[in-house]
Amino acid sequence: MVLHASLAHTTSHLRAPPPLAIASKALPFLGEAPPKLDGTMAGDVGFDPLNLSESAVPLPWMREAEITHGRVCMLAIVGYIAVDAGIRAPGADKIGTVTSFTAHDATVASGHMFLLLGVAGVLELAGIAGIAASLKGERTPGNFELGSSMVKDVKQLDRMQLAEITHCRLAMMAFSGLVTQAALGHTAFPYF
Among 129, 107, 103, residue whose Cα is nearest residue 118: 107
32 has which bridge partners?
23
Tens of pLDDT, residue by residue over 7-55, are 444 444 445 444 556 777 777 776 777 888 888 888 888 888 788 888 8
The pLDDT, as a whole number, for residue 112 is 82
Total-model pTM: 0.77
The pLDDT, as a whole number, for residue 6 is 44
Q: Rounded to the nearest 5°, which phi and psi values hold at 53?
A: -65, -20
- Binned at pLDDT 50, 70 and 90, residue 149 comes out as low
Tens of pLDDT, residue by residue over 47-90, are 887 888 888 888 889 999 999 999 999 999 999 998 888 887 77
